[in-house]
Amino acid sequence: MKNSLKIKCPAKINLTLEIVNKREDGFHNIKSIMQTISLYDYLTIQTSESTTSKIILNGNSNEIPYDETNLVYKAAKLYVDTANIKNRQIEIFIEKNIPIAAGLAGGSTDAAGTIFGLNKIFGEPLTYKELHDLCASLGSDLNVCLEGGCILATSRGEVIQNLPVVKNDITLIKPKNLGISAKEAYTKYSLKELKPQNNNTEKMQKAILENKNINEFLYNDLEYAIFNDYSELQKIKRNYPNSIMSGSGSTYFVLENIKESALDENYLVIDNLHFVTSGVEIVSA
């Protein structure tokens, strides 16, 4: 059993995101093609013997809580309870590089990385399927981040199917002072009388399977839901007409490497990124 591990946790984007209907549990059924990309948070997980079970979080960001409300804490607590880990102190340092409230699954990938990393540290008492079950119980994007690569996600996002590898450069564009919650985006979508039925997910899946260009099928129902409410998003679209919002926003992406941004200092531009085939994984022991 190892006492320390470092895990890298990739961001994800939604190449498509289409909402099927609202579920009785309050969530929405979706169909989405998601892709992990080369932007990473890093977790340093250390464990030691203790008279009680204890989880301690810390990190480099002042934008997230380091208490039991953090999804990493919830993931660690769920893991130790499920795996019946007793009398261990678990310390997790979160190096945050993925913007928060950005539609990039920053919290979800860190939680998936926590479950994966703890299972490695404690000698893999849980099977890979059991790790996926834990991920599914915590949120909608964790399973994609655990698995990695190009994924067809259905139900509320936790039912996943691997798709062939897609290679692409990518640039992220985010208004620095705008974060959008999933609740806001989904609520605004539900209020829309006209709900497009483009079936872009099926079209893109077919294009991927046939090794064809996917750009024309990029689409997001949640962008449609909130776009008119935010001038910051409209400015991105004016400058980059081919850009698409990821998740519930506020991050947009283009499938190319932008050398020089056409936007001002109020926008964060992260370039030199690419699609990756992996999910959360060990960096070093």
pLDDT tens sequence for the chain (285 residues):
668 999 999 999 999 999 987 777 777 789 999 999 999 999 999 999 998 889 999 999 999 999 999 999 999 999 999 999 999 999 999 999 999 989 999 999 999 999 999 999 999 999 999 999 999 999 889 999 999 999 999 998 889 999 999 999 999 999 999 988 888 998 999 888 888 888 999 999 999 999 999 999 999 999 999 999 999 999 999 999 999 999 998 999 999 999 788 899 999 999 999 999 999 999 955
pLDDT at 20: 85
Residue 104: closest CA among 197, 8, 38: 38
Q: Is 12 a catalytic residue?
A: yes
141 is catalytic: yes
CB 88 within 8 A of CB 125: no
Determine which helix (DSSP H) or strand (DSSP E) holds 58, and give its type and residue range: strand 54-59
What pLDDT score was predicted for residue 179?
Answer: 87
Of the candidates 171, 168, 272, the residue with the CA atom closest to the CA atom of residue 211: 168
Handedness of CA 102, 173, 178, 246 (dihedral sign): negative
In whole angstroms, what is the distance from residue 257 CA to residue 190 CA? Answer: 34
Catalytic residue among 8, 12, 74, 188: 12
How many CB atoms are closer than 10 A to CB 176? Answer: 12
Q: Please tell me the predicted confidence (pLDDT) of residue 261.
A: 84
3-state secondary structure of 76: helix
Beta partners for residue 159, in sequence order:
154
Question: ω into residue 250 within 30 of 0, thus cis?
Answer: yes
Catalytic residue among 8, 31, 41, 141: 141
Domains, in order of start, for the chain:
1-285 (3.30.230.10)
pLDDT tens-digit map of 71-95? 999 999 999 999 999 999 999 999 9
Give me the pLDDT at residue 285, please.
Answer: 52
